[in-house]
Amino acid sequence: MCRDQLADRTHRIDASGIRRVFALAAELDNPVNFSIGQPDFDVPAPIKQAAIEAIEQGHNRYSQTAGDALLREALSTSLGAELGWKDPEVMITSGVSGSLFLAFLALINPGDEVIIPDPYFVIYKQVINMLGGVCVFVDSYPDFGLPLEKISNAISSRTKLIIVNSPCNPTGAVYSKEELRSVADLARGHDIILLSDEIYEQFSYDGACPSLAQYYEKTLLLRGFGKAYAMTGWRMGYCAAHPCLKPILEEMTKIQQYTFVCAPTPFQKAAIAAISCDISALVAQYRRKRDLAHSLLRDRFELAKPGGAFYLFVKAPDELGTQFVEKAIAKNVLILPGHIFSERDTHFRLSYATTDAEIERGCDLLRSLCLQ
């Protein structure tokens, strides 16, 4: 097909830089792979068994568009207790990426502005651009806290949505209760919907991760099962909301009917088992991995210690992030350039979701680049 035959929206998005690095991994001999944003442990056995039983019991057809009724009920009950909401609305989606896509489709008109702290997860910018929305980035460098004054200054009559991602990909920042209350107050004062992306909420290492939804009823809460239970390939996420936002979830469900149809049915059944699965020991392992990676790099690199997720967002020494990444790949270390996640090209992202031995090997190689 000739390029001029493609829809205009395809020219508003870029190919994923993450996927390009994944392709490089296949070409290198035994690289240290710090690029992959998924756990290195397997799905816990009870959840795998629940999926097997669901398949064997014939739960292989479409579910309801909004998701399996028992799973939605279980999530609504637990979220109601956590957030103090009475009968929160819940829909099951094909990963949190599916929730994001449906929410953006339901809310964003061409010209609508979306405020996004920078650095940010890659999908936000690309899908908003594809829909003709306008990304309004607010810089959170160098410590990656929630830039409240900049968010306040960025609000305009065209602001449709403010996105908050905590724990954050790529920085690992976990926002405090005070920061979340403040952004909730800002949104309430302007009657703006907040979108809280909490896919990493169980990976919070210095205390529980507070939810933005605790402080503002007009919050779309996005969580999932992929990261916490290593079922990234199962594509299991959900969007929850206070009943006052029920019309938005109804529209998201309507759009899902004509796009994803539903999340995978047997894995929805298995997700019911996941809700009660204790992964605290795995989270403790990742806290230790965080400490190990940070301790190995902090004397050679400028970096903030992350509070959650499984990433370090590190300032490249005396050069562009892209240039440093090219040197690292030449040394057989796969990391991602920060400009994939940012309007700046000063940092790189490292995922420490790997073995301790690989963390030590890769960090030693990165340290050696600072001596050249």
CA quadruple 106, 111, 115, 120: dihedral, nearest 10: 80
Residue 65 located in a structural domain: yes
**Does residue 1 carry a pLDDT above 70?**
no
**Does residue 194 carry a pLDDT above 60?**
yes
Q: What is the mean pLDDT of residues 294-321?
A: 95
Residue 52 located in a structural domain: no
R_g (Cα) of the chain, nearest Å: 20
Query: What pLDDT sits at residue 20?
Result: 65
The CA distance from 21 to 17, in Å, is 7
* Total domains, the chain: 2
Q: What is the mean pLDDT of residues 53-59?
A: 97
Ramachandran angles phi, psi of 316, nearest 5°: -70, 140
Query: What pLDDT sits at residue 112?
Result: 98
CATH for 362 = 3.90.1150.10
Q: How confident is the model at residue 18 (pLDDT cuts 50, 70, 90)?
A: low
Query: What pLDDT sits at residue 207?
Result: 92
Q: What is the mean pLDDT of residues 291-301?
A: 97
Residue-averaged pLDDT of the chain: 94
Q: Where is the domain boundary, 275, 309, 328? A: 275
Residue 93 located in a structural domain: yes
Query: What pLDDT sits at residue 142?
Result: 95
Q: Are residues 271 and 296 in the same domain?
A: no
Sign (positive/negative) of CA torsion 222, 225, 230, 232?
A: negative
Query: What pLDDT sits at residue 29?
Result: 80
Nearest one of 275, 253, 268, 272 to 68, comparing CA atoms: 268
**Does residue 372 carry a pLDDT above 60?**
no
Query: What pLDDT sits at residue 23?
Result: 65
Q: What is the mean pLDDT of residues 222-241?
A: 96
Per-residue pLDDT reduced to its tens digit, 95-136: 999 999 999 999 999 999 999 999 999 999 999 999 999 999
Q: How confident is the model at residue 12 (pLDDT cuts 50, 70, 90)?
A: confident
Q: What is the mean pLDDT of residues 176-190?
A: 98
Q: Where is the domain boundary, 275, 291, 314? A: 275
Residue 287 sits at the vertex; the CA angle it makes with 71 and 239, to the nearest 5 degrees, is 25
Residue 56 located in a structural domain: no
Q: How confident is the model at residue 36 (pLDDT cuts 50, 70, 90)?
A: confident
Q: Are residues 158 and 271 in the same domain?
A: yes
Q: Are residues 18 and 164 in the same domain?
A: no
Q: Are residues 83 and 209 in the same domain?
A: yes
**Does residue 13 carry a pLDDT above 90?**
no
Q: Are residues 157 and 264 in the same domain?
A: yes
β-pairing, 347-351 vs 311-315, is: antiparallel
Q: Are residues 132 and 108 in the same domain?
A: yes
Per-residue pLDDT reduced to its tens digit, 330-348: 899 999 999 999 999 999 9
Residue 226 located in a structural domain: yes
Query: What pLDDT sits at residue 25?
Result: 63
Q: Where is the domain boundary, 220, 243, 275? A: 275
Cα 272 to Cα 54, 76, 240, 360: the distances in Å are: 11, 12, 16, 37
Rounded to two decimals, the pTM is 0.94
β-pairing, 219-224 vs 89-93, is: unpaired
List the alpha helices (DSSP H) in the chain: 17-25, 45-56, 69-83, 95-107, 122-130, 148-154, 177-190, 246-257, 265-275, 280-297, 321-330, 356-369
Q: What is the mean pLDDT of residues 192-214?
A: 96
Residue 297 located in a structural domain: yes
Q: How confident is the model at residue 158 (pLDDT cuts 50, 70, 90)?
A: very high
CATH for 106 = 3.40.640.10
Nearest one of 67, 127, 89, 55 to 261, comparing CA atoms: 67
Q: CB under 8 Å to 83, separation ≥6 — which residues? A: 211, 213, 214, 221
Q: Are residues 153 and 285 in the same domain?
A: no
Q: Are residues 346 and 226 in the same domain?
A: no
Residue 329 located in a structural domain: yes
Query: What pLDDT sits at residue 80?
Result: 95
Burial of 99 (0-12, 13-18, 19+ CB in 10 A): buried
Residue 170 located in a structural domain: yes
**Does residue 9 carry a pLDDT above 90?**
no
Ramachandran angles phi, psi of 151, nearest 5°: -65, -45
Could you list the residue range(s) of the whole structural domain that residue 249 is in? 61-275
CA quadruple 262, 273, 209, 93: dihedral, nearest 10: 0
Per-residue pLDDT reduced to its tens digit, 58-96: 999 999 999 999 999 999 999 999 999 999 999 999 999
Q: Are residues 203 and 326 in the same domain?
A: no
Q: Are residues 153 and 176 in the same domain?
A: yes
Q: Are residues 135 and 245 in the same domain?
A: yes
Q: Are residues 232 and 89 in the same domain?
A: yes
